[in-house]
Amino acid sequence: MATNIDTATPPFGDSADEKGGPSSAPSSASSPPLATGQAPPPNPAPNGGMAAWLQVMGSWFMVFNTMGIITTFGDYQAYYERGLMFEETSANISWIGSIQSLIVFAFGAVVGPIYDRGFLKLLIVVGAFGLVFGHMVLSICKEYWQVVLAQGFIMGLGGGCLFVPALAVIQPYFSSRLGLALGLVATGSSLGGILYPIIFINLINQVGFGWTTRIIGFIVLGTMMLPIAVSRMRVKPPAVRKMVDWTAFTDAPFLFCVLGCFLGYAGSQVAFFYIPYFGEANGWVNGSLALYLLPILNAASSIGRVLPNWLADKMGAVNVIIPGSLLVGVVLLSNLAVSSAAGIICTAIFFGFLSGLFVATPPLLFMLFTQDKSKLGARMGVAYGMLGLAVLPGGPGAGAVLQHDSSRLDWTAAWTYGGVLPLAACVVFCLLRIQRGGFNLAAKV
């Protein structure tokens, strides 16, 4: 497998030409990936062409089946809350989705070195198997611990094999248009978060939980055939990255960047986990309409996952995420004033539009705050490993806040908690912008 891949540049690193050094290959902006025995590919990223956009399509389907399934968990949370399968508290139920999300992100530290060795296809196949097998096992689960194992661990490991490769394979094909390419890939999670909940909602009362889950598993199987067929590494790094880049823990700006993303993502998770249950528990929306809140949210986020990255290419990623994180916090706090179905649908739409910020923009921020691009793969593994922990305060943490009073659900405390986290992220990014660009408001940071 590795014989088809050039070893001239790392997947996240700068090419020799871009650094001003010599290049052994002629420049060509549209050269496709090479077959076995051909000369190494040119160093400059093609920034388009059939080969590059096929990678975007393949990564789109990988994200569709990883982040799309993660963001669907809010409907599973609302369904499990009904007690039809088992009786557990909101905090305990949220551990299922939290474990899944944590493993998807944290497992990237293990997947990265495997990807560097050229085993992209193997990772995609194993990841697809994990997601499909996890759904099949989930379809026969009857108890809480079984659901944790199938939906939390098995699906999490399957998604973990796909998430880092979905991002890594794109970078060598794009330079000036990288933000746009990653933004388009991120829309896969939006459409996954629309289609999978709608399928769940429309089938659950007709064929039951078991067959609904199996049908979703078959859809995963079918849609993963495309990335297996088209995804291909353009370049292979000259050396396998370290499992952990320990220098990341002494790089203060990088750590602050991760902290800002952590706080924003944790606040976002409160809405993804609890907004369907919020409407149902208060009686504003019932049955399938409550479950439809998540598709509504994800439909709005499809634009919000492209626009911020497109703006980041022009204005700078930090300049975009500062007002974005402020608005996310304001919208989450607006749930304190919701008292009807119309109100919760409005906040779902506005939050959905803004929520893509903490899905699509972090890779650009991690690239920005990594000076040595040869370490970017390892840095992203570290960053996403820490970012994955954000699901703990966002899921179980919010559940504990929601149920801190055993006699009632305290939604005021829950939404205040959720809204303050992105506001804290805004403060962190403001400090980073000052450190990076000073007080020059026109600086692109």
Q: How many residues does the chain have?
A: 445
| Number of folded domains that form the chain | 1
- Give the model's pLDDT for residue 28: 38
Q: Stretch 169-186: mean pLDDT, rounded?
A: 81
- DSSP characters for 27-77? --TTPPPPPTTSPPPPSS---SSHHHHHHHHHHHHHHHTTHHHHHTHHHHH
In a domain, 291, yes or no: yes
Give the residue numbers spanning the domain of 229.
50-437
In a domain, 335, yes or no: yes
How many other C-beta atoms are found inside a 10 Å radius of the C-beta of residue 37? 7
Residue 22 pLDDT > 60: no
Residue 21 pLDDT > 50: no
How many other C-beta atoms are found inside a 10 Å radius of the C-beta of residue 406? 6
Q: The domain that contains 282 carries what CATH number?
A: 1.20.1250.20
In a domain, 155, yes or no: yes
Whether the Cβ atoms of residue 104 and residue 170 lie closer than 8 Å to each other: no
Residue 259 pLDDT > 60: yes
Range with top average pLDDT, 18-22, 211-215, 268-272: 211-215
Range with top average pLDDT, 3-7, 44-48, 229-233: 229-233
Is the overall model pTM greater than 0.85, yes or no? no
Q: What is the pLDDT of residues 343-354, one digit of tens each?
A: 998 998 999 888
Beta strands in 66-203 (DSSP E): none
- Give the model's pLDDT for residue 377: 66
- Give the model's pLDDT for residue 45: 67
Identify the residue whose tokens are 């060795």: 117
Q: Stretch 225-244: mean pLDDT, rounded?
A: 79
- Which two structure tokens, joined as six digits, stand for 329? 């916090």
Residue 331 pLDDT > 90: yes
- Give the model's pLDDT for residue 43: 62
- The crossing angle, in degrees rounded to 10, of helices 178-223 and 155-168 is 140
In a domain, 212, yes or no: yes
- Give the model's pLDDT for residue 311: 83
- DSSP characters for 391-411? HHIIIIIHHHHHTSSTTS--H
